[in-house]
Amino acid sequence: MTTFADGVLHTHRELDDMLGRRWRKPRFVKRPWLRWVLGLGFLAYLIASYTTVEVNWNRVYEGLERGWKFVIAFASPDFFSRSSDIWDGMVESVIMTVAASVVGIAISIPIGLGAARNIAPLPVYLICRGIVAVSRALQEIIVAILLVAIFGFGPLAGFLTLSFATIGFLSKLLAEDIEAMDKVQAEAVRASGSSWLQWINYGVQPQVMPRLIGLSMYRIDINFRESAILGLVGAGGIGATLNTAFDRYEYDTAAAILILIIVVVMALEYLSGIIRAKVQ
Amino acid sequence: MLRLEKLTKTYKTGDQALKAVDLEVPEGQVMALIGPSGAGKSTLIRCVNRLVEPTGGKAWLGDIELTGLSQGGLRKARRRMGMIFQEYALVERLTVMENVLSGRLGYVGFWRSFIRRFPQSDVDEAFRLLDRVGLLHMADKRADELSGGQRQRVGICRALIQDPALLLVDEPTASLDPKTSRQIMRLIVELCKERALAAIINIHDVALAQMFVQRVIGLELGSIVFDGNPDALTPEVLTQIYGEEDWEATIETVEDEDAEVAAK
């Protein structure tokens, strides 16, 4: 041992200490007492919150029967006795969806560019992030209630609501995709002496296009489903028809409407799958 | 042709990547820039075309002073400096032809480039360049379908179609196998000779640099510590640039390889 040089001897000693010692992955919360307090505290909170939820079992028993009727109605959906109402509602919903999606996506693209920190200057970034934040903070139903109050009942309020909601959704996700792009590909385009617009068109757009198309398809899907909800607050579309059907206790007609909504959403889902596979 | 005067870059973190670098590259000279990782090689060439903004000093391309240019002036100046990148930096979802033609963006208006209607002379030149590097039949393939060596050759076409006076080349062979690396280096050097282009080539591989260039600059911690003929790279010089290591093997290999190349 003494024949070893100083440095070598030293490293051997450190290793000797380590050999035979147990190894565990370092804990996320290092202090044991804090780890236990956090864990037990969460468990206690969970138990406390479950016990505060009251369940009226008699009411549930009565409701089960009503629910069952509703479920049974799906076995015999009635597409025909209100067919013209359903058709009008559907057409209105589709128009609302398409119009709102086109307008929303068109506005989302410049805002999405502005909300990406790696390509927008700070003032533009802050403004665009602000718009995104406002749009995301206000839930569709709340916006719809406000817009129905301003523009009256009907699909105009629904169209505006969906456009507004699309902006928050799409701009944010587009901006995040732009922020995650490969910087060097864009840099190479800039190095050729391109203008800003050319840089976006050649260096940025090809990188984010598949995601933009995928998100747009997804948003069209969401907008259609939302259009069914917005009818409940008077903003037009198939939701208004559905609401009327519920009010009249016409569960078979309501079931027919729900089935149609499901079919349309599934068709959109299938379509977007095909399109996304094409553009990747 | 390119002249750097006390070019300095200090990053926001306080790291001095370039310490008042003075350098002159005459017309038509192909020059290698060697040095350890973090020596400032990449920063140096990016400060020339201002993908990275230098914090001090001046850079002259011919009689144009680059560091003081406005956005418009900078765009015009960038057209005269073609850049070739490490890992190719092709826009992967664009076709080979779109990638090559993107080298003309500084010359054509937005609308023409947006609808992909480039002047016929540009399109012809793109075909000529692709033919020169042996990729004419790949013109409509997407860039991400190509192999590494093929991608780098497209990158070379993109730089050359700019009709540059200077090539800035950043680790062109970093992700290529040894044979392809040599082919790419040979191609770059040949094309520079054909077109009387000057080039600054950042490169890790000392042996490869020695095989192909006329002049080597050694950069260490943001300062030039060697400037001379490739033959003058002795073990002492390499120790000064990279630190202590057994350099005899590196240099000997180079001589062997040179002989081998000469034999062909």
Band (pLDDT 50/70/90 cuts) for residue B263 is very low
Joined tokens for residue A176: 């995040």
Give the least confident one: A107-111, A249-253, B95-99, B127-131. A249-253
Please check whether residue B150 is in contact with residue B138, taking contact to mean a CB–CB distance below 8 angstroms: yes
Q: Tell me what pLDDT residue B251 has.
A: 65
Give the least confident one: A71-75, A247-251, B164-168, B181-185. A71-75
Phi first, then psi: what are they for B33, rounded to 5°? -115, 110
Spatial CA neighbour of A236 closest among A147, A114, A110: A147
Joined tokens for residue A61: 């028993």
Band (pLDDT 50/70/90 cuts) for residue B94 is very high
Q: What is the CA radius of gyration of chain A?
A: 29
Chain B hits for A194, CB-CB cut-off 8 Å, are: 75, 102, 105-106, 113
Question: B98–A195: do the CB atoms touch at under 8 Å?
Answer: no
Nearest CA in chain B to A207: B93
Domain A66-279: give its CATH code.
1.10.3720.10
Q: Where are the alpha helices (DSSP H) in chain A?
A: 6-18, 32-52, 57-75, 83-114, 122-137, 140-151, 155-179, 183-191, 196-199, 205-230, 238-247, 251-279
Kindly list the domain boundaries of chain A, sorted by start residue.
66-279
Q: Tell me what pLDDT residue B260 has.
A: 46
* Span A154-179, pLDDT tens digits: 889 999 999 999 999 999 999 999 99
Please check whether residue A279 is in contact with residue A205, taking contact to mean a CB–CB distance below 8 angstroms: no
Q: Tell me what pLDDT residue B163 has.
A: 93
Distance between CA atoms of residues B23 and B44, nearest Å: 11
* Span A75-91, pLDDT tens digits: 888 888 888 889 999 99
**pLDDT average, residue stretch B97-106:** 95
**pLDDT average, residue stretch B162-175:** 91
Cα–Cα distances (Å) from B244 to A75, B35, B37, B230, in that order, read 83, 13, 15, 19
Residue A1, min C-alpha distance to chain B (Å): 29
Q: Tell me what pLDDT residue A78 has.
A: 84
Residue B207's SS3 state is helix
Q: What is the CA radius of gyration of chain B?
A: 19
According to DSSP, residue A204 is labeled: I
Q: Per-residue pLDDT for A260 more than 50?
A: yes
Give the least confident one: A83-97, B49-63, B218-232, B244-258. B244-258
Q: Tell me what pLDDT residue A172 has.
A: 95
Q: Per-residue pLDDT for B50 more than 80?
A: yes
Q: Tell me what pLDDT residue A236 has.
A: 82
Please check whether residue A189 is in contact with residue B158, taking contact to mean a CB–CB distance below 8 angstroms: no
Spell out the domains of chain B, with CATH numbers in brackets. Answer: 2-80+165-263 (3.40.50.300), 90-163 (no CATH)
Give the least confident one: A11-15, A193-197, A242-246, B152-156. A11-15
**pLDDT average, residue stretch B49-76:** 91
- Residue type, position A178, single letter: I
Q: Tell me what pLDDT residue B141 has.
A: 93
Question: B49–A191: do the CB atoms touch at under 8 Å?
Answer: yes
Band (pLDDT 50/70/90 cuts) for residue B234 is confident
% of residues, chain A, pLDDT over 90: 52
Band (pLDDT 50/70/90 cuts) for residue B79 is very high
**pLDDT average, residue stretch B230-236:** 84
**pLDDT average, residue stretch B138-151:** 92
Nearest CA in chain A to B49: A191
Q: Per-residue pLDDT for A2 more than 70?
A: no
Residue B113, min C-alpha distance to chain A (Å): 7
% of residues, chain B, pLDDT over 90: 61
Give the nearest partner residue to A195 out of B85, B93, B110, using CB atoms: B110
Residue B216 bridge partners (DSSP): B32, B228
Distance between CA atoms of residues B227 and B169, nearest Å: 18
Supply the angle between the helices A205-230 and A251-279 in degrees, to the nearest 10: 180
Phi first, then psi: what are they for B239, rounded to 5°? -65, -40
Distance between CA atoms of residues B156 and B145, nearest Å: 17
Q: Per-residue pLDDT for A116 more than 70?
A: yes
**pLDDT average, residue stretch B43-58:** 91
Mean pLDDT over all residues of chain B?
Answer: 88
Spatial CA neighbour of B220 closest among B58, B85, B44, B3: B44
Residue B256, min C-alpha distance to chain A (Å): 36
According to DSSP, residue B118 is labeled: -
**pLDDT average, residue stretch A40-44:** 96
Q: Per-residue pLDDT for A4 more than 70?
A: no
Q: What angle do CA A43, A49, A54 make, to 5 degrees?
A: 145
Distance between CA atoms of residues B261 and A235, nearest Å: 78
Looking from the CA of B202 toward its CB, the CA atoms found within 13 Å total 24
The answer to whether A201 contacts chain B (CB < 8 Å) is yes
Identify the residue with better confidence: B162 or A279: B162
B30-34 and B56-61 strand pairing: unpaired
Q: Per-residue pLDDT for A130 more than 90?
A: yes
Distance between CA atoms of residues A121 and A132, nearest Å: 16
According to DSSP, residue B95 is labeled: B
Residue B52, min C-alpha distance to chain A (Å): 10
Give the least confident one: A89-103, B1-15, B185-199, B244-258. B244-258
Please check whether residue B4 is in contact with residue B57, taking contact to mean a CB–CB distance below 8 angstroms: yes
Question: B92–A185: do the CB atoms touch at under 8 Å?
Answer: yes
Q: For the residues of B155-180, what is the DSSP string, one character each?
A: HHHHHHTT--SEEEEE-TTTTS-HHH
Question: A193–B79: do the CB atoms touch at under 8 Å?
Answer: yes
